[in-house]
């Protein structure tokens, strides 16, 4: 069975495309590679969730003995949620979410951090934009963990964000998730009281 490090080292750069300022991994190629690496891999789409007029889709991929769940809003090429999306837009988001869930197993995950090469090929310093993508990815995972009822795992996803500007960015990103923000605040307060 492949390890995360082996899968994460695969360079997917030639299988990506850019739309606007976003980089996408071909979902068909990601599925092909996943099944070559783990022939028993499966995936399923969970029920989408409405946020006012917009929609969030979810996909869980089970591979290498582990299930990973990703979420993705139905969005346009400017990274903005689409109000009242049609079936084609929802299908596109579902396929992108599948590619993202596969990436959580390592295949192309660095794309979501804004990098152009796998981590071991080039050690380029991160830009502010790169950090924002990482923070959003951590926040998205925290949202999933919180929705699954695991407050501690949700807090652990974002507890490493210590820079004040980054914390502010995270807090604004989580604005629609007041219950999660309350849990993070409570756990951070409890965490700070634990002696080192």
The answer to whether 46 touches 60, Cβ cutoff 8 Å, is: yes
Q: Where are the domains of the chain?
A: 1-122, 125-196
Instruction: Write the pLDDT tens digit of every residue in 100-111.
Output: 999 999 998 888
Place of tokens 């390592």: 106
**What residue ranges in 64-183 does DSSP mark as E strands?**
66-73
pLDDT for 114 equals 54
In terms of average pLDDT, the best of 16-25, 116-125, 166-175 is: 166-175
**pTM (2 d.p.):** 0.59
> How high is the mean pLDDT of the chain?
85
pLDDT for 127 equals 47
Rounded mean pLDDT, 46-57: 94
pLDDT for 49 equals 94
pLDDT for 28 equals 94
Assigned fold of 1-122: Enolase-like; domain 1 (3.30.390)
Instruction: Write the pLDDT tens digit of every residue in 70-83.
Output: 999 999 877 889 99
d(CA 176, CA 181) in angstroms, rounded, equals 9
């Amino acid at each position: 069975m492949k390890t995360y490090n082996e899968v994460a080292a695969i360079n997917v750069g030639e299988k990506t495309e850019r739309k606007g300022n976003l980089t996408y991994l071909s979902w068909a190629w990601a599925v092909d590679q996943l099944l070559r690496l783990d022939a028993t891999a499966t995936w399923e789409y969970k029920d989408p969730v409405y946020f006012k007029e917009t929609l969030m889709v979810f996909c869980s991929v089970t591979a290498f003995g582990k299930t990973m769940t990703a979420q993705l809003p139905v969005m346009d090429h400017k990274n903005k949620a689409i109000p009242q999306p049609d079936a084609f837009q929802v299908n596109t988001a579902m396929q992108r979410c599948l590619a993202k869930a596969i990436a959580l197993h390592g295949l192309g995950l660095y794309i979501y951090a804004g990098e152009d090469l796998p981590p071991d090929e080039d050690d380029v310093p991160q830009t502010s934009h790169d950090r924002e993508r990482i923070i959003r990815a951590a926040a998205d995972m925290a949202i999933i963990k919180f929705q699954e009822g695991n407050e501690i795992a949700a807090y652990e996803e974002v507890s490493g964000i210590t820079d004040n500007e980054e914390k502010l960015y995270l807090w604004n990103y989580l604005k629609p998730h007041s219950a999660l923000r309350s849990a993070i605040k409570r756990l951070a307060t409890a965490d700070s009281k634990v002696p080192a």
